[in-house]
Every structure is written in structure tokens, then in C-alpha cells.
Amino acid sequence: MAKVSKKKVSKKSLKKSSKGTAKIAEVKPDVVYDDDGDDDEEGLYNADENITSEEDEDGEDERKRHKLLEAISAIGGKRKKKLGERSEAAVQMSEFTVNAEGEGDKVDLSDLIGTMEKTSAVPAKAKKQLKNLQRSTKTIECPLSKQESQRIQRDVAFQKAATEVTRWKGIIKQNQRAEQLIFPLNQEPSGPKPMERVVTGWKAKTPLEQEIFALLSANKQPIHDPVLTPTEEASMRAMSLEEAKIRRAELQKARALQSYYESKARRERKIKSKKYHKVQNKAKRKDFVKQFDEMVRSDPAAALDELNKMELSRMQERMSLKHQNSGKWAKSKAIMAKYDEGARKAMQQQLEVNKELTQKLVTSLNDKEEEEEEEEAEVLPDFVNDAEQGLDSSNPWMRGKLSEEPTEKEISDTVVLKAEGPGAGGNTVVVVEEEEEEEEVEETEEEALLREFDSRRKLRQAQETDIISADAEEKKAEAGDPDTSDKEEEELSEFTSLFQGMADSRREAEAEQAEAAADASHTDTSAQLEEGLMRIRTLEDVELLSQEAADEAPVQPQEPPATENLASATPKAGKNRKRKRGIELKTVLTKEAKVIQVPLAPTVEDTEDSDEKLDQRGLIREAFAGDDVVSDFLKDKRKQEDAGKPKVVDLTLPGWGEWGGTNLKPSRNKRRRFRIKTAPPPRRKDQHLPSVIVSEKRNSSISLHQVNSLPFPFQNHAQFESTIRSPLGRTWNTERTVKKISKPKVLTQLGAIIEPMAREELMKDKKQASTGNTSIVDSRKRNH
């Protein structure tokens, strides 16, 4: 827009400057307009000049005026270009000394569009577009070279491919990190699929099927989930876990009982002894009679039922030819009957049985027996079940018919229970009675025990008076305890002072050794001194020293046990003894051992300081006066320590750099310069254990089997050692653990084609990964 304004300004100035040149002005608007695109004012002036130069003949006035104008414009500070004459070598000069308008400038869009405004043939849309174009200052860059464009293309393609590939990154990483990969990757789980999955994919197509499905859905029968109907599911939901457990337990029990019963029955049926069966039957019969009696009393209806049953069986017996000696066996017996007494008898018996069974019921009792007999011939007598049912009414298995009118059943159950009252109730009564009896017995037993204890106590007291010596000893020991502890403390203080003295001397010795290796004599004397010190020590001292040493250690692991434990142990022991005298139960039980207990009892170390034991100690000391075990040991230890220390190497040569000769020692300075010290060795393992020498030798045999360089991903020894810490073998682990530990990294199915991952896998895995990640996070949270 700025340009436009400028043009306007230039126009005005022109008008101002030349009123006389109206003609020119008339002609010019076009020119000016033409030049509108031109930015410069100079161009405009140029044009003016041009025209003036072309119309030379216009006269002197004209020229003067022009000159004036020129002068004015020169005053205005704007230089005008000299044109028309070739005075200098210039590019923009034409051969006709004509200066082409705007030759040096580029052709602009506005130059071309200028006339468009007026021509109506050009559509408005195109005009607008062109204007827009005109307004935009951007220039179209020249096309790139082939190489460059190709490079860019390649770049773009790479980026595209990279983005495509990075989408797989997650999966790849996941697979790399996976503990185990099973190929082919998207395996369908083998084995039977759940019914639902198979069914859901299937739809009813034929009219018959549709009809069936309509029926099923109308009756709320399961279509997709063929296992449970909605009502069943509801009931399932209604049943709580505990209930389910209880019910399961009940079922289990019932099943177990049934199986027990069945096996028992099977076993009994297999028994071939006739006598056994006879006895058994008799017993059962008796039982049944008893029950029936009760039933008659308590539940006439049931009794009637039973009677009816018996009647039925009688009828059956009468109808059948079972006991009528008409079978194969009977015929063979009949042949033998002439000669064989037994056969005859058997036949007779059969007939008798028949008679019995077909006898009309006169009294209920008789018939019941017969009935029973027959029933027992069958496998499972009903009453057995009945009885059990009575015993365990809660057991569903024992209920017989589950669905049949539970309320009535319950009532009957209760009735039965009542009926069985004499049986069961009697039992309970018996039990109660027994318990009472037992209590009585216990009471009596307790009394007896108490009496026994009393008598024993008396006896023991008598014995104690007899064996007073032992007790006296113990008492002495107890009395001596505080004294001994005091003594201990004193001794301790002594030892500490001794030890400190020794440590000081040792320190001195070390310092001296470091300072002057040559001063052997001095160290010798110190060593002698130390030996003199050591002579006094005993083993106890050494132990105390060890504890002292442990105390001196920065950690201070167990300071109190040194003195306090020992001190506290004795009173405790005394207390224990007292308490035991109060209880005395164990001594009662091991009375025989007690007789020889006195010589056996080991006493805690402190008590040994009583007079008698001191004597013993003295004896021992006398016996081993020759070999001072402790000092020997300490010497040995010192030797080992010294051997482990690095030696100071003295490389001084006499006579080099100074005078040499007899009675001339190399100077101290020189000696110091040529003494080679090595780094102090690491601390000995037995530094704080004076009574222990631990060998510092390297066990090279095991190093052959050790890992001697850190394997790749590990960054320090501890990491590696922690990972190989736990054993892998079957000897130390359960089978499951072994399987988990020794899982192969990659599993391939034999014969299966392993195909590259499909793009669908990517999407699936993304979902999985997102869920998996969350689950991992969850598990971690749980862990921490």
C-alpha cells in the first residue's frame, strides 16, 4: 500500500510542477498509471525527461522551464539522472542512446495485469485471484537439483519407515524381555474349549432350530451357557462360599460313609461261613423286632407300613416256588435223600422255611421275624438305611429321597428320633453316667496322687536330710556366687590393665619397627618383656581378652555378656534350683537318676571358684606347670602374625656417596632413603580373637572352580553373587521351582510353522501391553 501512496504523492507533485503541460498530463495518466507498478519516483522523472527530449522543438521556454524545474528539484535534494548522452559505460544504455524504461528491473505482475481492470472479458474471479497473487510477495523458488530432491525424498521415506518400525518397538522389547517365548506366537490353547465359546459362534438357521430356540428362550432355558439355567445360577449366587463348603463337606462325608457301608456289605456278603450269617441274621432280626416294637408304640403308621410290606413278601413267597423243593438242587437232593441224612435234613429245612414264610400273620411279632429273614437274604436291608438316616438327618445322602416333601420328612425324622429315644437317649444317659463315673475316678485318682505326692515329699525330705552334704555344697556355691562375681570383676579389671599394658608395649614395638628396622636389639627386649607379661596369663584371661578386644572393636557387638552374663547366670541358676525344689515333679519322675545326680551335675563355671574346686584347679595347675599352653599359643600366634607382615627391605649400601669402612654406619638419612616399605597387609581375620589363629593362606584349589571375572550385564560382585546364591537342582528345590527356574528361553512347537508377526498382532499386543503393564505395576506395588 505504501507504494500506492507514494505514487499519489508523485502525481500531485507532477501536477503542481507542470500546469502548462496539461497535454502531457492528459496523455500521462496512462503512463503514470503504467508506471504505477514502478516503485521509484526516479523512473517517473525519467519518463518526463524522455518525453521532453523527444519534443525538442517545443521551444526555448520549454527548455528554460525545464531547467528551472531541474534546478528546483535539485534544491529539493533529489538528484536527477543525466540521460540521453552516453558519457559513461553503462549496462542500461541502449545503442540508440535510448534508455529503456525499467530495463534493469524485473517484469512485474502488475505490468501485465494493468489492463485487466478495464477489460470486462476477464471474469471477476480470475481478477481476484490475480490480485491476490499480486499482493503476495513470495517468489517461487527455483526447483532443486536432482540429487538434493532425491536426498530429501530418501529422508522422508526413512522417517516414514522409521515411524512404521518404531511402532513395533514395544512388542520387540517386550519379547526380548519376556522370560519365555513360545513359538508360534499366537497359539490357540489346545485341549477342550469351554462350551460357551463354541456355542456363541453358532446361530440357529433352520426353522426347526429357530423353533427350538424360541421354545428354550420362552422357558428360560440356557441357550449359550448350557450348564446352568437362570434360576440355577441365581441359586448358585445365593449360596455363599461357607455354605458351599459345608455342603461339600457333608456330601463328602456322606459319600465316604456310603462307600464304607458298601464295602462293608460287600465284605460281609463274601463271607462264606453259614454260621456267621445265621448269627448275623439272628442279631439283625432281634434288632428289627426291637425297633418294630418301638415303632408300634411311637409311629403306628410306619408300623402298619412295615406290616404291609411283610404281607406283600408273604404273598410273593406263596406265589413263588422258591422253597418248595422243586428246583434243580432240590431234585438232586431228592435223589440223594434216600441215602443221605444230610440231604434229607436240608430238604426238610427248606420246607420249614417255606412254611414259616407263608404262615399267616397271627401275631405281628412272628411274622416280622420271618419277614426279616427274607429281607436279609437280599443285599441292602432298608432298615439299615433308616437307622442311619435317623442318626444323621442332616446328611443329604442318608435322606434317601431328597426332593420328597422335606417338611414331612423332617417331622417323621423327629418322630423316628423320638422312637429311637430309648436307644440313643439311653446311650447318652450311659455316656453321662460314664462321664460322671470318670470324674469320680479322676477325683479319686487326684486324691490318690496328692496322697502319693505327700508321702513322697516326706520321703524326700528324709532323703534330703540324709544327703545334706550335697545340698550344703549347693548352698555353698550359691553363697559363694556374689563373692565370685566380685572376684571376677576384680580379675577383669586386672586383666584389662594388663591387656592395655601389653597393647601399649606392642604398639610401641610396632612403631619402633617401622621407624628403625636396624634397631633389632630394642625390639628383642620388648619381645622379652612381652613374654614376661604373658607368662602370667591363663586361658580365662585370654577369653576375657577376646571379649575386651571385641569391645574395643568399633561395632561393640556384645559387651554385656562378658561380665553381666556370668554374673547374672549364677543367681539365675540358684533361682532355678530353688524353684525346682518347689515343683519337684521332674525329680519325682526321675527319682532314680537323682541319686547319682550329685556327681553328675555340672555347675556353671563361676561356682568352680569355691574352695574345693580351687583346690582342683591348683592341682591341675600343678599337673600342667611344665607346659604353659597359653603362652605357647600366644607365641605361635605372634609368629604367624609376623610372618604375614610384609618385610621392610633395606637396600642401603655402605660407602656409596659417603665414606665407608669399619665402625662407619651409613647415615640415617641414607638408610631412610633406601628402605622400601610395602603397604600394610589387610586386617587379619583373627584380629579380635586372641585365642584363635585363622590361616590367611589363599585356598587356591577352590579358585579353579570359581568365577574369576564379572560376567556381562553385572556391574558389581554383589549383584552377581546374589543371583547365583540360591541352588537350582532338584536336591534342594521342589519340582515346581526347578521347572520354573530351568525354563527354556524359547520354546518351539515341533512341526509348527513359525510365521512373522502380523500387523493385527501389533494392535492386540498394544492392548495387552497396556493391561500387562498395569498388572505389572500392580504386582510391584503389592510386592513393596
Partner 1 sequence: MCCHQLTSHSFVLLVQPRRQHYKLKDMITRSEEASEMAQKQAARFDLLLPEDAGFLEGDEDEDTPSTLYKNIDLNSKQLMCEINVMESVNDVKWLHSEAMYAVAQKKWLHIYDSNGIELHCIRKFNDVLRMQFLPYHFLLATASATSFLQYLDVSVGKEVAAICTKTGRLDVMCQNPHNAVIHLGHSNGTVTLWSPNQKEALVKMLCHQGGVRSVTVDKTGTYMVTSGMDKKLKVYDIRAFKPLKSYFLPAGASCLSLSQRGLLSAATGDIVQVYRDVWNTPVSKPYMAHRVQRTIWGMNFCPFEDVLGVGHGEGFTSMLIPGAGEPNFDGLDANPYRSAKQRQEWEVKALLEKIQPELISLDPTELGQVDRATFEQRHQDRVKALGFDPLAKEKFIPKYKKKGRSSTGSVERRKRQVAHEDQRDVIRKTAEDKMKIEKERKKREKKEAVLSSQRSALDRFKK
Select the residue interacting with partner 1 from 715, 750, 759, 781 (CB under 8 A). 715
In the complex with partner 1, the residue whose CB is nearer, 247 or 740, is 740
Q: In terms of C-beta density within 10 A (0-12 exposed, 13-18 middle, 19 or more buried), how is residue 637 classed? A: middle
In the complex with partner 1, the residue whose CB is nearer, 158 or 732, is 732
Q: Least distance in Å: CB of 594 to partner 1?
A: 9
Residue type for position 706? Q
Q: By three-state DSSP, how is residue 744 classified?
A: coil
In the complex with partner 1, the residue whose CB is nearer, 428 or 737, is 737
Q: Least distance in Å: CB of 404 to partner 1?
A: 44
Count of residues engaged in binding partner 1, rule: CB under 8 A: 78
Select the residue interacting with partner 1 from 695, 748, 749, 770 (CB under 8 A). 695
Select the residue interacting with partner 1 from 166, 703, 771, 773 (CB under 8 A). 703
Spell out, one character per residue from 78 to 117, where the chain touches partner 1: x when CB under 8 A holds, - when not: ----------------------------------------
In the complex with partner 1, the residue whose CB is nearer, 295 or 477, is 477
Q: What is the rounded CA–CA span in Å between residue 250 and residue 682?
A: 71
Q: Which of residues 597-656 bind partner 1 (CB under 8 A)?
A: 597, 599-605, 607-608, 613, 616, 620, 623-624, 627, 629-630, 632-633, 636
Q: What is the CA radius of gyration of the chain?
A: 62
Q: Least distance in Å: CB of 554 to partner 1?
A: 17
In the complex with partner 1, the residue whose CB is nearer, 96 or 712, is 712
- Per-residue CA distances from 660 to 23, 232, 673 (Å): 131, 117, 17
In the complex with partner 1, the residue whose CB is nearer, 494 or 636, is 636
Cross-strand bridge partners of residue 675: 650
Select the residue interacting with partner 1 from 23, 125, 698, 745 (CB under 8 A). 698
Alpha helices in 338-420 (DSSP H): 341-358, 364-377, 382-391, 406-419
Residue whose C-alpha is closest to residue 474's, from 597, 295, 629: 597
Stretch that binds partner 1, among 98-106, 312-320, 342-350, 696-704 (CB under 8 A): 696-704
> Among all chains, which residue has been given the C-alpha cell 522422508?
156
- Per-residue CA distances from 252 to 7, 255, 406, 476 (Å): 111, 5, 21, 68
Stretch that binds partner 1, among 93-101, 287-295, 480-488, 591-599 (CB under 8 A): 591-599
Residue whose C-alpha is closest to residue 503's, from 677, 694, 696, 690: 690
Q: In terms of C-beta density within 10 A (0-12 exposed, 13-18 middle, 19 or more buried), how is residue 79 classed? A: exposed
Pairing mode of beta strands 746-748, 181-183: parallel
Alpha helices in 274-363 (DSSP H): 274-298, 300-319, 328-337, 341-358
Is residue 390 within 8 Å of 421, Cβ to Cβ?
no
Select the residue interacting with partner 1 from 163, 231, 663, 706 (CB under 8 A). 706
In the complex with partner 1, the residue whose CB is nearer, 668 or 739, is 739
Q: Which of residues 384-413 bind partner 1 (CB under 8 A)?
A: none
Residue whose C-alpha is closest to residue 48's, from 2, 81, 9: 81
Stretch that binds partner 1, among 189-197, 263-271, 319-327, 571-579 (CB under 8 A): 571-579
Q: Least distance in Å: CB of 476 to partner 1?
A: 14
Q: Which of residues 536-555 bind partner 1 (CB under 8 A)?
A: 538-539, 542-543, 546, 550
Select the residue interacting with partner 1 from 236, 462, 710, 752 (CB under 8 A). 710
Asked if 162 is part of the footprint of partner 1 (rule: CB under 8 A), the reply reads no
- The set of residues, in sequence order, having a beta carbon less than 8 Å from that of 192 and lying 6+ positions away, is none
- The set of residues, in sequence order, having a beta carbon less than 8 Å from that of 777 and lying 6+ positions away, is none
Residue type for position 44? L
Asked if 180 is part of the footprint of partner 1 (rule: CB under 8 A), the reply reads no
Q: Least distance in Å: CB of 668 to partner 1?
A: 35
Stretch that binds partner 1, among 216-224, 242-250, 650-658, 706-714 (CB under 8 A): 706-714
In the complex with partner 1, the residue whose CB is nearer, 178 or 246, is 178
Q: Least distance in Å: CB of 543 to partner 1?
A: 6
Q: Which of residues 118-137 bind partner 1 (CB under 8 A)?
A: none
Q: By three-state DSSP, how is residue 628 classified?
A: coil
Q: Which of residues 721-760 bind partner 1 (CB under 8 A)?
A: 721-726, 731-734, 736-737, 740-741
Asked if 686 is part of the footprint of partner 1 (rule: CB under 8 A), the reply reads yes
Q: Which of residues 255-284 bind partner 1 (CB under 8 A)?
A: none
Q: Least distance in Å: CB of 484 to partner 1?
A: 12
Asked if 209 is part of the footprint of partner 1 (rule: CB under 8 A), the reply reads no
Asked if 708 is part of the footprint of partner 1 (rule: CB under 8 A), the reply reads yes
In the complex with partner 1, the residue whose CB is nearer, 448 or 741, is 741
Per-residue exposure over 550-577, b if at least 16 CB sit within 10 Å of its own CB, e if not: bbeeeeeeeeeebeeebbebbeebbeeb
- Per-residue CA distances from 79 to 32, 39, 45, 47, 76 (Å): 20, 17, 11, 15, 9
In the complex with partner 1, the residue whose CB is nearer, 76 or 602, is 602
Residues present in the chain in total = 784
Select the residue interacting with partner 1 from 699, 744, 751, 754 (CB under 8 A). 699
Select the residue interacting with partner 1 from 73, 134, 513, 691 (CB under 8 A). 691
DSSP character string of 526-558: HHHHHHHHHTT--HHHHHHHHHHHHHHSTT---
